[in-house]
Amino acid sequence: MERAKVRLCVDHPLGEGQTVPLERDQAHYLFGVMRMSQGDAVALFNGHDGEWRAEVLEAGKRGGVLICRGQSAPQMNPPDLWLLFAPIKKARTDFIVEKATEMGAARILPVQTDFTNAERIRQDRLQAHCVEAAEQCGGTFIPEVADLARLDRVLADWPEGRQLMFCDEGLAGGDTLSARTPGPWAILIGPEGGFSPAERDRLHGLDFAHPVALGPRILRADTAAVAALTLWQDRLGDWGRAE
């Protein structure tokens, strides 16, 4: 069987000899768009069983069946890292979700801040972006996108033992994450207009929160998200320990 050119995320258990029925849009993609047929190879993952080499068993216009022939990569979960961000313009919000998946965030939490305009998000669309990004980047894990919540509520319900690195453009030139406490973490990216004075005061008063500077230039929120995830993964995450 040749190397799979297509990676597909499916909502189905994967294992040796396991058959996987295809949904209509997946069948359309494989057999209509990609012109695949019986015997062709597809790489499958489902977010928890690793990656599997599968083969087309039945190809139809409205459906089809794949069969798993062997595991091609073990399941690899990212560190226990959350990314909190204030949704911005649609295209950049999509980018943040894509980047968070590639960079290895485990959970993505859109938050409303005092200076955030977004009243609602399309959680399902953002979740679909995570799936697409995982298909593209070779990952086997799909971060969960939470519903939009107010930042003050999220901070009020903050889980015991989770550290928070918050990035504030007002801190240019300051600390670049000296805290090295291992364990669960979260990164908070401020909105494009910055945090409100009340939010900033509150964040600086929380013992689990660590202000971090991202250089002397002002970064857009999507740039800041990748930069902050890089700093964290480099210092505390899985960038040094992969096989």
Nearer to its own copies, 159 or 216 (CB): 216
Q: Segment near its own copies (CB under 8 A), from 49-57, 97-105, 119-127, 152-160? A: 97-105
Where does this chain touch its own copies (CB under 8 A) — which range of 21-29, 56-64, 200-208, 218-226?
218-226
Nearer residue to its own copies within complex by CB, 31 or 232: 232
- Is residue 138 at the binding interface for its own copies, with CB under 8 A as the rule? yes
Closest approach of Cβ 213 to its own copies, in Å?
7
DSSP the chain: -PPPS-EEE-SS---TT-EEEPPHHHHIIIIIIS---TT-EEEEE-SSS-EEEEEEEEE-SS-EEEEEEEEEE---PPPSEEEEE---SHHHHHHHHHHHHHHT-SEEEEEE-TT---S---HHHHHHHHHHHHHHHT-S--PEEPPPEEHHHHHHTPPTT-EEEEE-GGGTTS--------S-EEEEEPPTT---HHHHHHHHH-TTEEEE---SSPPPHHHHHHHHHHHHHHHTSSTTT--
Examine residue 142 and tell whether it contacts its own copies (CB under 8 A): no
Complex with its own copies: residue 56 or 219, whichever CB lies closer? 219
97 scored as a contact of its own copies (CB under 8 A): no
The residues in 157-196 that bind its own copies, with binding defined as CB under 8 A, are 172-173, 176
For residue 6, which amino acid is it?
Answer: V
Comparing CB distances to its own copies, the nearer of 180 and 241 is 241
Out of 66, 167, 233, 236, point to the residue binding its own copies (CB under 8 A). Answer: 233
Amino acid at 176: T
Give the interface segment with its own copies, choosing from 27-35, 63-71, 159-167, 210-218 (CB under 8 A). 210-218
Cβ count near 62 (within 10 Å): 10
Among 136, 150, 181, 201, binds its own copies (CB under 8 A): 136
Between residues 64 and 237, which has the closer beta carbon with respect to its own copies?
237
Task: Note whether 208 binds its own copies by CB under 8 A.
Answer: no
Measure the CA angle with vertex 52, ends 50 and 57; round to 5°.
145
Residue ranges that bind its own copies, judged by CB under 8 A: 76, 95, 98-99, 102-104, 136-139, 172-173, 176, 213-220, 223, 226-227, 229-231, 233-234, 237-243
